[in-house]
C-alpha cells in the first residue's frame, strides 16, 4: 500500500510562523500549476504502475483557497491513473476562512472523506497576531458545513503569553465543532519567519513552559476520550490518520507538486520549491526533482527506529530484525543499557514511556550511528 501527497502552494496571506512552500502572491498561477500537477500525476503513475493507493492527502499552503474544481480534478486524475482502494482515506486541509457550502459539496462528491482544519487557537486576538485569516466563529461555521464528517483540527502551543487554560478552551471549541482528531503542535520559530524575531526577543513561551502546556493538554485530551497515538496526534478510537500512520510506519508515499517529497522503493526524493521552476520542468517533460537519496543500511535502520518510537505502537523488534537481518538487542545494546529507564518493552514491542514521549528526540538520537 502507498499514500499520495498533493501539495497546493497557494494561500491568502502568510502566517507569521509559516516556513512551508506557500505563496500568497502567486494565486493567479493556480490553473497553470494544476495543469502541470495533473501531468505529474500521470507521469508518476507510469513510473510506479503497480502501486495500490490507500490514502491521499491534499496539503499546503491552503488547498481550500483555490477553485474547488481544481481540487476535484486532482482527485479524479489520481483515481484515473492509479489503483485507489474503495475505502481509501482522502484528506484535504482547510482554512475556515476559505470554504463555503458549494466547495464542501464538491469535495465530498469526488470522494474526500477527511477534513483537516487549521484552527490553531480559539482566541481571535491570537489568530490575528499569527496573521490567520479566520476567527473562532469561522471555525464553528466550517464545522457546521462538515457536520457528520471525519474532522481533524490543528492546535498550536507555545504562543505569546499562552496559558494552559487557553489551550483547553481551544480544545473545547474543537470538540464543540465535532472533531474526532486533534493535532497539537509546538510552535517552531523558523529563521526567516516574522515570529522568529519574537522568539529572539524572548516573547514566546520557553521550551519548559511549552512542555508544561503540552503535558496539561495531553491529560485534558485523555479525559475527553482522545488517545495519543503519536507525539503530536490524538484521536478518538478508530479515527487515527491513516496517511500519517503510513509515514510513521515507514511506508511508501508519492508526493506531487511543489516541495513534495516521496519515498518509493527505498529512494527519497523532493521536488523544487519554486512554482515557476516546477511548471517549466513539467511542461518540458523534465523531472521537477531537486534531490534524491537511496536510504539504506544504518540510515534506514535509524529511520525505522525514529519513526516508530514517536508512536504509542512503538518499534516491533521482530519485524525490525527481519527487515534488516540484524539482532536489534545486540546491535543497540549500549543504547538500551543507557536509555532503557526511559523506555519499556513488552515482548517484541519497544516504546518510550508515556511521560517521556514529548522529549523523545533526546532518547531517539542515541540510536543514530
pTM score of the predicted model: 0.95
How high is the pLDDT of residue 291? 97
Alpha-helical runs (H) found in 117-251: 124-129, 136-145, 164-176, 194-200, 207-223, 242-248
Burial of 257 per CB tally in 10 Å (0-12, 13-18, 19+): buried
How high is the pLDDT of residue 188? 83
**127/201: higher pLDDT:** 127
The rounded distance, in Å, linking the Cα atoms of 74 and 92 is 12
Mean pLDDT rounded to a whole number for the chain: 94
CATH 3.20.20.70 domain span(s) along the chain? 2-247
Q: Between the CA of residue 299 and those of 31, 237, 295, 303, 323, what are the distances in Å?
A: 39, 33, 6, 6, 13
Nearest to 34 by CA among 54, 50, 58, 12: 58
The rounded distance, in Å, linking the Cα atoms of 60 and 322 is 36
How high is the pLDDT of residue 369? 63
Per-residue confidence at 139, pLDDT binned at 50, 70, 90? very high
Give mean pLDDT, residues 12-20.
Answer: 73
Are 189 and 156 in contact by the 8 Å Cβ rule? The answer is no
Q: Between the CA of residue 231 and those of 92, 241, 342, 349, what are the distances in Å?
A: 22, 13, 15, 17
CATH classification for the domain delimited by 297-367, as one of 1.20.120, 1.10.10, 1.10.3470, 3.40.140: 1.10.10
Percent of the chain with pLDDT over 70: 99
How high is the pLDDT of residue 368? 85
Q: What is the pLDDT of residues 68-125, one digit of tens each?
A: 999 999 999 999 999 999 999 999 999 999 999 999 999 999 999 999 999 999 999 9
Per-residue confidence at 190, pLDDT binned at 50, 70, 90? confident
How high is the pLDDT of residue 14? 66
For residue 205, pLDDT beyond 90? no
Q: What is the pLDDT of residues 250-259, one digit of tens each?
A: 999 999 999 9
Give mean pLDDT, residues 46-53.
Answer: 96
Give mean pLDDT, residues 201-215.
Answer: 88
Reply yes or no on domain 2-247 having CATH 3.20.20.70: yes
Q: What is the pLDDT of residues 264-320, one digit of tens each?
A: 999 999 999 999 999 999 999 999 999 999 999 999 999 999 999 999 999 999 999
CATH 1.10.10 domain span(s) along the chain? 297-367
Per-residue confidence at 175, pLDDT binned at 50, 70, 90? very high
How high is the pLDDT of residue 202? 79
Give mean pLDDT, residues 5-12.
Answer: 94
Amino acid at each position: 500500500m502507498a499514500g499520495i501527497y498533493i501539495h497546493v502552494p497557494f494561500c491568502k496571506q502568510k502566517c507569521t510562523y509559516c516556513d512551508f512552500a506557500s505563496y500568497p502572491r502567486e494565486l493567479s498561477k493556480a490553473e497553470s500549476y494544476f495543469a502541470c500537477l495533473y501531468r505529474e500525476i500521470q507521469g508518476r503513475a507510469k513510473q510506479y504502475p503497480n502501486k495500490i493507493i490507500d490514502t491521499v492527502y491534499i496539503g499546503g499552503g491552503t488547498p481550500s483557497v483555490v477553485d474547488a474544481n481544481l481540487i476535484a480534478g486532482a482527485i479524479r486524475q489520481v483515481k484515473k491513473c492509479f489503483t485507489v482502494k474503495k475505502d481509501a482515506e482522502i484528506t484535504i486541509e482547510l482554512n475556515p476562512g476559505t470554504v463555503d457550502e458549494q466547495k464542501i459539496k464538491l469535495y465530498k462528491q469526488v470522494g474526500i472523506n477527511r477534513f483537516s482544519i487549521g484552527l490553531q487557537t480559539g482566541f481571535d486576538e491570537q489568530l490575528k497576531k499569527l496573521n490567520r485569516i479566520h476567527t473562532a466563529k469561522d471555525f464553528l461555521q466550517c464545522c457546521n458545513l462538515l457536520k457528520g464528517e471525519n474532522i481533524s483540527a490543528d492546535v498550536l502551543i507555545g504562543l505569546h503569553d499562552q496559558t494552559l487554560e487557553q489551550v483547553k478552551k481551544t480544545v473545547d471549541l474543537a470538540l464543540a465543532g465535532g472533531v474526532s482528531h486533534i493535532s497539537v503542535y509546538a510552535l517552531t520559530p523558523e529563521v526567516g519567519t516574522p515570529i522568529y524575531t519574537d522568539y529572539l526577543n524572548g516573547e514566546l513561551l520557553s521550551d519548559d513552559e511549552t512542555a508544561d502546556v503540552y503535558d496539561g493538554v495531553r491529560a485534558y485530551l485523555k479525559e475527553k476520550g482522545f488517545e495519543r497515538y503519536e507525539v503530536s496526534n490524538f484521536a478518538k478510537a478508530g479515527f487515527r490518520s491513516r496517511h500519517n500512520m503510513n509515514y510513521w510506519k515507514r511506508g511508501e508515499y508519492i508526493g506531487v507538486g511543489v516541495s513534495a517529497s516521496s519515498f518509493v522503493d527505498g529512494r527519497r526524493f523532493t521536488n523544487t520549491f519554486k512554482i515557476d521552476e516546477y511548471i517549466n520542468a513539467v511542461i518540458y517533460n523534465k523531472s521537477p526533482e531537486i534531490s534524491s537519496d537511496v536510504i539504506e543500511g544504518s540510515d534506514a535502520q535509524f529511520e525505522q527506529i525514529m519513526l516508530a518510537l514517536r508512536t504509542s505502537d512503538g518499534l516491533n523488534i521482530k519485524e525490525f530484525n527481519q527487515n534488516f537481518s540484524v539482532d536489534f538487542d545486540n546491535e543497540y545494546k549500549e543504547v538500551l543499557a543507557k536509555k532503557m529507564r526511559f523506555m519499556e518493552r513488552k515482548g517484541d514491542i519497544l516504546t518510550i514511556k508515556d511521560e517521556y514521549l514529548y522529549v523523545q528526540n533526546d532518547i531517539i538520537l542515541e540510536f543514530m550511528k
